[in-house]
Amino acid sequence: MKKILEKISVNLTLIIAGMKNLLLKHLADALVKDLPGRNLPEKFIPFLCCSAGTQQLNKISTMKHLILLIFAVSAFSLFANAQTTPKQAPQEFDSLRTDIAHGKIDSISYTSKTVGTKRKALIYTPPGYSKKEKYPVLYLLHGIGGDEKEWLNGGKPQVILDNLYSENKIKPMIVVMPNGRAMKDDRAVGNFFDSTKVKAFATFERDLLNDLIPYIEKAFPVLKDRENRAIAGLSMGGGQSLNFGLGNLDKFAWIGGFSSAPNTKRPEELVPDPEAAKSKLKLLWISCGASDVLITFSKRTHDYLYLKKVPHIYYIEPGVHDFKVWKNGLYMFSQLLFKPVDTAIYSQLSVDGMPASTNIPGIQYPQILPDNRVVFRIKAPEAHRLVVDLGKKYEMIKDTGGYWILTTDPIVEGFHYYSLIIDGIPVVDPASQSFYGMGRMASGIDIPDKDMDFYQPRNVPHGQVRSVNYFSNITKAWRRAYVYTPPGYDDNIDKRYPVLYLQHGAGEDETGWSTQGKMDFILDNLIAEKKATPMIVVMDRGYATDPTKPINTNTGGPGPRGMSSNVFPEVLVKDIIPMIDKTFRTVTDRDHRAMAGLSMGGFQTFQTTMTNLDKFSYIGGFSGAGFLQQGGDIKQMYNGAWADPAAFNQKVKLVYVSIGTAEPERMYTGVKGFHEALEKAGIKHVYYESHGTSHEWQTWRRSLRQFASLIFKD
């Protein structure tokens, strides 16, 4: 034992002799301060701080003092290797420095049984690389248009890592940059989106696990356990990293996705067992540029992980889909790898906010915070008062630079109109896209929904929204309809389709459903999932007046505002339906015709269909239905159409009524009361409540998704 202790003392002397005095003094002070109950010998501090360390070490004879020395050196080692909060990359972080040691980039080839050929990859070995040491490994993947050289050519990973090594910010590691397109001709040429090439990115999972990793572990001195293996990538490679890493937690403990692309699996597939992921993951990193068009794929993964309480870092930075973002991702991610995990730093890297999807492209504000508060920042140095009208009126505060700033309360998920009120005048926010609503052009903001994937564009066949002008014999004027034709409409000219007539609400027009409501994406996705029958959807302006008839200025009658003197139901039946049947390949019988609408459009739907049951078989009202006066008898409405429930139920295939649970009380009780009256009268119908949403587009998007999946099911 004495000889062993003497050997340890000599080794400690050599270690300490190489340490810088200032750093060691700091360590000693910290030890004295932070280790209550441990009486450090007085000679310990000068031992650390002066050149006489060897002499002092010889005077330490007790086991207690020696153990303290071992503890001190161990503490220093842990301090050097612990996770710290990485910051956004500084300027010149990717600039080549000549005053530091450099790692090495080599090209390697390996036999792929998966592909049936020799494949290439690049490998980075760190400064001071030695075959006598064993290293952890990071597999770093490229995007859909790149190959094994994309990171080298566009990202300069060797420069970034060399600079980090010189600052003692990262653990020594080997980095492997493979070609993620696992096919015999894996060159980055031609149509990158060809289905065969896209499929090859999924095939790479087998190539990676069965061919590349075994080769690396045989040819290089690497640590072979999952705790020393990481995977990360950009864009398509980011999707691969999430798919492969989370799908193989027995192989990877450190996973990163930078601007992950649409190939990223749905979060429910990525993390089917959140508890298992929590126990196995060392680090899950998700980052993206705030103005990246693909941010929804990162956001939906983050939302799911947040909901399931799976620890992860979701880092959003200014930028788009480019190497500026990806290099910073590598810079920050690499600093956290292969070190003791400290989840406390995750909150320090949380996203500040991301520009709203409804902003003018490239404009940073308004920004949406993770808790759905909205930050507005507007420069108007000459203005005296600014107010944002978003559900309620928020006073803005002016700073010394002429900027007006505001952070709202949390806003309900979904699309909302808003206005800026500048010195008492409501105007459109110049930073926002404009939408026709509120009876005029208005600004709008779309607060992401955790279940937003159903109205997002996916990699599926898409239909088209066409603008059709026609002359109305009733209004004696030209009108415009928007018409959605389903995917494949122009390919098979012999196929005919059922038609849904879909109406907007008060203060909106024919653009509402396709622009604010995203009905085309909703239908595209439903049709791709085979949950909806391919159909034509017609959207028209729900206001029409007959110039030969006097205008009724009395708006105090039953029904919503905008219905008095409105002859739209007549225009629909006599002008629009004949025009659509003549212009498009429709099935013209009532069994293949439906009508639905939101709010005012819901009232119009019941007014139109219930008085034209020879023309419609499907009826839907979203936050709007038949107007049943208090104490009225539903069986007397619409000329007694519901007087014989059995006959009505046989004739009409679907009546659908929906409402948001957070709608204004009068609206909620009115629609729910209508549902209860239908139920009492024996009228078969579907009633749906959209949880947590008010009288706004999220209620109606959800309603359309359900309604469209129920109609035309022969």
Q: Tell me what pLDDT residue 653 has.
A: 97
pLDDT at residue 234 is higher than 70 = yes
Q: Tell me what pLDDT residue 348 has.
A: 67
In this structure, CATH architecture of domain 466-708: 3-Layer(aba) Sandwich (3.40)
Cα–Cα distance for residue pair 24/73, rounded to 1 Å:
10
pLDDT at residue 608 is higher than 50 = yes
- What interhelical angle do 519-528 and 697-708 show, nearest 10? 30
**Mean of the pLDDT values across residues 663-685?**
93
pLDDT tens-digit readout, 235-285: 999 999 999 999 999 999 999 999 999 999 999 999 999 999 999 999 999
Using alpha carbons, list the distances in angstroms from residue 95 to 100, 154, 159, 622.
Answer: 12, 13, 7, 58
Cα–Cα distance for residue pair 457/465, rounded to 1 Å:
14
Q: Tell me what pLDDT residue 477 has.
A: 96
Q: Tell me what pLDDT residue 522 has.
A: 97
Say if CB 671 and CB 488 are below 8 A apart.
Answer: no
Using alpha carbons, list the distances in angstroms from residue 44 to 14, 39, 59, 274.
Answer: 16, 10, 10, 48
Cα–Cα distance for residue pair 195/5, rounded to 1 Å:
66
Say if CB 432 and CB 366 are below 8 A apart.
Answer: yes
pLDDT tens-digit readout, 127-177: 999 999 999 999 999 999 999 999 999 999 999 999 999 999 999 999 999
**Mean of the pLDDT values across residues 305-326?**
88
Return mean pLDDT, the chain. 86
- What interhelical angle do 2-17 and 63-81 show, nearest 10? 40
Burial class (CB in 10 A: 0-12, 13-18, 19+), 439: exposed
Cα–Cα distance for residue pair 449/690, rounded to 1 Å:
13
Pairing assessment for the beta strands 374-379 and 386-390 based on DSSP bridges: unpaired
Cα–Cα distance for residue pair 608/572, rounded to 1 Å:
8
Using alpha carbons, list the distances in angstroms from residue 600 to 230, 478, 502, 533.
Answer: 55, 23, 12, 26
Structure tokens at 690: 């959209």
- What interhelical angle do 323-334 and 157-166 show, nearest 10? 40
Which pLDDT band, with edges at 50, 70 and 90, does 309 fall under? confident
Cα–Cα distance for residue pair 420/434, rounded to 1 Å:
12
Neighbours of 254 (CB within 10 A): 26
**Mean of the pLDDT values across residues 333-349?**
85
Cα–Cα distance for residue pair 610/101, rounded to 1 Å:
81
Which pLDDT band, with edges at 50, 70 and 90, does 476 fall under? very high
pLDDT at residue 714 is higher than 80 = no
Using alpha carbons, list the distances in angstroms from residue 312 to 220, 349, 355.
Answer: 30, 10, 21
Which pLDDT band, with edges at 50, 70 and 90, does 81 fall under? low
Q: Tell me what pLDDT residue 184 has.
A: 95
In this structure, CATH architecture of domain 363-448: Sandwich (2.60)
Nearest to 242 by CA among 227, 260, 225: 260
Q: Tell me what pLDDT residue 401 has.
A: 77
Q: What single letter denotes the amino acid at residue 126?
A: P
Nearest to 504 by CA among 660, 696, 665, 711: 696
Cα–Cα distance for residue pair 288/329, rounded to 1 Å:
8
Q: Count the alpha carbons within 13 Å of 157 in the hemisphere toward its beta carbon.
A: 32
Share of the chain above pLDDT 90, in %: 69
Structure tokens at 122: 């690049």
Rg (CA), the chain: 33
**Mean of the pLDDT values across residues 52-56?**
41
Q: Tell me what pLDDT residue 674 has.
A: 93
Q: CATH number of the domain at 104-352, out of 3.50.50.60, 3.40.50.1820, 1.10.357.10, 3.40.50.300?
A: 3.40.50.1820
pLDDT at residue 519 is higher than 80 = yes
**Mean of the pLDDT values across residues 309-323?**
88
Cα–Cα distance for residue pair 609/622, rounded to 1 Å:
15
**Mean of the pLDDT values across residues 106-129?**
97
Q: Tell me what pLDDT residue 346 has.
A: 78
DSSP string, 346-378: GGGG----EE-TTBPTT---SEE-TTS-EEEEE
Q: Which residue is it, tokens 């808003």?
A: 418
Longest CA–CA span in the chain (Å) reads 114
Q: Tell me what pLDDT residue 59 has.
A: 43
Structure tokens at 70: 């071992």
Using alpha carbons, list the distances in angstroms from residue 23 to 164, 167, 194, 515, 654.
Answer: 20, 15, 57, 61, 77
